[in-house]
Amino acid sequence: MADPEIKSYEPHHESQSAAVTESRPVRAVLMAVAFAFLGVFLVLPLIVVFNEALAKGVGAYTEALASPDTRSAIRLTLLVAAISVPLNIVFGISAAWAIAKFEFKGKAFLTTLIDLPFSVSPVISGLVYVLLFGAQGLLGAWLKAHGIVILFAVPGIVLATVFVTFPFVARELIPLMQEQGNGDEEAALSLGANGWQTFWYVTLPNVKWGLLYGVLLCNARAMGEFGAVSVVSGHIRGLTNTMPLHVEILYNEYNAVGAFAVASLLAGLALVTLVLKTLLEMRYGAEIAATRGH
Amino acid sequence: MTTAPARAGWRFRQPSVIPGFGLTLGFSLAYLTLIILIPLSGLVWRSAALGWTDFWAIVADRRTINALQISFGTAFAAAAINVVFGTLVAWVLVRYRFPGRRIVDAMVDLPFALPTAVAGIALTTLYAPNGWIGKLLMPLGIKVAYTPLGIVIALVFIGLPFVVRTVQPIMEEIDKEVEEAAATLGASRFQIITRILFPGLAPAIVTGFSLAFARGVGEYGSVIFIAGNLPFKSEIAPLLIVIRLEEYNYPAATAIAAIMLALSFLMLLVVNLVQSWSRKRYG
């Protein structure tokens, strides 16, 4: 695999005429503007999070994180991600297999539908479940009669999270598996492997880095989702408060250290996600396919 | 597995030796229907059940119209700002070599990875009158936090990677030889940028703009902290949906959500038309 650093240097020759690149001062100005913009919009907010979290010292920071409500918020966030991410992994692999390995009518339409949750406001993603399962909802009376609780409880939070993170794994795997074609699988099948063996020993190893990439993004969004979860959670402290919701509650109580302490954990998660994502792109760029960004 | 008997000229799927089509497609469709399609059609059904007069009364309410105007207006402004700076950032990342370029490149994705609530409280703290940036803007008489300007700032943060990540790959593909050829034919740098580079990038820029715009219209988490949420002034449509839900006013929440969805899809349609036009125009 070509080293991306070397590759990106290749088309650049130092002897460039002024018409093919900008003059030195123009270049300096453009870079300065770009860096200033990124500094103000990306770096400063990140610094503020950690600065505010530690504003009253490390003691106050660890104390804020040790509070029972914060701990239960962390537990709930981990639980919700642990349920919703695997669900979307299974769906993503299944959808990618059907769409990438076969030619059938309506494929483009199906692919569009999979992307649908990205164009729906998170608040609406939560709202649709309230309309379905709420007291005035379509299934509300039936659920109540059978003692099933979905809304303002963990199942509702999981559903809303699954909705907003729905496309991540699938849209990472579909182009990758399409690019790889069916040759490997056909070879395995002709050598006598059954379908499951073909998937497990041939397809999965081929797409594992792309899958990890999709899971990484899916997980970051699952743990950080605010709008959709906020609508279905009911904000019951210690029970249905995920970490982002807990950040909001603490912030609105003017508990800046507490809010930013929890926020710093989420910011840490974001940074870890970015580092892993960059490492995957550098090391396995070709095996993640040309699907950078979203 | 179900393969429809081959009718002449039309078959549901091309024959293949690979197994698992029925299982994977069946599961995917069932999951998609349960998680996405049924809940979304519930929304459509509920707003249709409202009837035209009730629906119109909610949508034509001054507070609703104001919230929609604020959501779409600020999202438009933020996407426009992102088109300028996002394209510039992509240009710097693609064309210039400097130490730490990979780190800067990775940082661009921060808004994708950082939970919106965290971005919201961080930006509010920065732009509040006593914040690091707010303090500097105060003497100039510029108030950002708790005004529509604050909403724009939050949406610029959220939308930036959409523009950069759409434009960047297209920029990387530009063949330098075309620029060199233009230069040898006597074109100035300005002419090359406006006549050669820009037309090639225009479709990607339009896509980036529409992605950032669409995301901005629906954004909630990062906005509600910095907006101040004054009705008629800085109240966004998604927040109005939440307020109506908290009042148990399901019909109003449903109607506002339905009109937002309709407007978003209309907008995507327009963008697609513009895009196919620009593709024809600039090849």
- Which structural domain range is residue A125 located in? 68-292
Q: How many domains does chain B have?
A: 2
Of A18, A31, A44, the CB nearest to B189: A18
What's the gap in Å between the CA of A179 and the closest CA on chain B? 16
B42 and B80 co-located in one domain? no
Q: Do A94 and B221 touch (CB under 8 A)?
A: no
Chain position carrying tokens 């394209």 = B87
Percent of chain B with pLDDT strictly greater than 90: 66
Could you list the mean pLDDT of each consecutive 10-residue stretch along chain A, which spans 294 residues?
A: 44 52 88 96 97 95 94 96 97 96 91 89 95 87 90 94 96 92 93 94 94 95 96 85 95 95 97 95 76 44
B139 and B95 co-located in one domain? yes
Contacts of B219 in chain A (CB under 8 A): 121-122, 227
Contacts of B264 in chain A (CB under 8 A): 119, 121
B36 and B140 co-located in one domain? no
Is residue B8 one of the residues assigned to a domain?
Answer: no
Picking from A89, A123, A276 by the largest number of B CB atoms within 10 A of its own CB, the best residue to mutate is: A123
- Give the pLDDT of residue A3: 46
Q: How far apart are CA B170 and CA B197, in angstroms?
A: 10
b (16+ CB within 10 A) / e for B164-177: bbbbbebbeebeee
Is residue B233 one of the residues assigned to a domain?
Answer: yes
Is residue A256 one of the residues assigned to a domain?
Answer: yes
Is residue B102 one of the residues assigned to a domain?
Answer: yes
Picking from B18, B103, B132, B194 by the largest number of A CB atoms within 10 A of its own CB, the best residue to mutate is: B18
B153 and B45 co-located in one domain? no
Closest CA relative to residue B155, chosen from B58, B224, B229, B231:
B224
Residue A147, sorted as left (phi over 0), alpha (psi -120 to 50) or beta, turns out to be: left
- Give the pLDDT of residue A18: 54
Is residue B203 one of the residues assigned to a domain?
Answer: yes
Reported ipTM: 0.89
> Quick one: average pLDDT of B60-76?
95
Full-model pTM: 0.90
* pLDDT, mean over chain B: 90
| CB-based contacts of B225, cutoff 8 Å, min separation 6 | A248, A251, B117, B120, B121, B123, B124
- pLDDT tens by residue, A120-175: 999 999 999 999 998 888 888 899 899 999 999 999 999 999 999 999 999 999 99
Q: How many domains does chain A have?
A: 1
Amino acid, res. A285: G
Picking from A15, A29, A33, A41 by the largest number of B CB atoms within 10 A of its own CB, the best residue to mutate is: A41
* pLDDT, mean over chain A: 89
Q: Give the CATH number for residue A77.
A: 1.10.3720.10
Is residue A62 one of the residues assigned to a domain?
Answer: no
Torsion of CA A160, A165, A170, A176, to 10 degrees: 180
- Give the pLDDT of residue A225: 96
Of A98, A131, A132, the CB nearest to B28: A98
B210 and B267 co-located in one domain? yes
Q: How far apart are CA B230 and CA B104, in angstroms?
A: 36
B91 and B28 co-located in one domain? no
Of A20, A113, A121, the CB nearest to B179: A20
Is residue A266 one of the residues assigned to a domain?
Answer: yes
Is residue A32 one of the residues assigned to a domain?
Answer: no
B116 and B180 co-located in one domain? yes
Closest CA relative to residue A4, chosen from B91, B167, B105, B109:
B105
What's the gap in Å between the CA of B23 and the closest CA on chain A? 8
B30 and B124 co-located in one domain? no
Contacts of A292 in chain B (CB under 8 A): 165, 168-169
- Give the pLDDT of residue B282: 64
- Give the pLDDT of residue A231: 94
B159 to chain A: closest CA residue: A41
Q: How far apart are CA A122 and CA A233, in angstroms?
A: 13
> Quick one: average pLDDT of B210-221?
93
Is residue B228 one of the residues assigned to a domain?
Answer: yes
Looking at per-residue pLDDT, the higher value among B144 and B8 belongs to B144
Is residue A17 one of the residues assigned to a domain?
Answer: no
Is residue A119 one of the residues assigned to a domain?
Answer: yes
What's the gap in Å between the CA of A227 and the closest CA on chain B? 6
Is residue B1 one of the residues assigned to a domain?
Answer: no
Q: How far apart are CA A277 and CA A269, in angstroms?
A: 12
Q: How far apart are CA B190 and CA A178, in angstroms?
A: 40
pLDDT higher than 80, residue B227 = yes
- Give the pLDDT of residue A88: 97
- pLDDT tens by residue, B13-67: 888 889 999 999 999 999 999 999 999 999 999 998 888 898 999 999 999 999 9
Q: Do A38 and B104 touch (CB under 8 A)?
A: yes
Contacts of B244 in chain A (CB under 8 A): none
B156 and B228 co-located in one domain? yes
Of B12, B20, B169, the CB nearest to A195: B20
Is residue B265 one of the residues assigned to a domain?
Answer: yes
Closest CA relative to residue A136, chosen from B57, B133, B116, B254:
B254
Q: How far apart are CA B213 and CA B74, in angstroms?
A: 9
Of B115, B188, B264, the CB nearest to A226: B115
- Which structural domain range is residue B85 located in? 51-282
Is residue B11 one of the residues assigned to a domain?
Answer: no
Q: Give the CATH number for residue B228.
A: 1.10.3720.10
Of A123, A231, A274, the CB nearest to B110: A274
Is residue A18 one of the residues assigned to a domain?
Answer: no
B249 to chain A: closest CA residue: A136
Q: Do B43 and A124 touch (CB under 8 A)?
A: yes
Length of chain A: 294
B172 and B60 co-located in one domain? yes
B92 and B36 co-located in one domain? no
| CB-based contacts of B79, cutoff 8 Å, min separation 6 | B155, B159, B163, B209, B210, B212, B213, B216
B37 and B134 co-located in one domain? no
State the first-to-last Cα distance of chain A, in angstroms, to the nearest integer: 24
Picking from B36, B87, B184 by the largest number of A CB atoms within 10 A of its own CB, the best residue to mutate is: B36
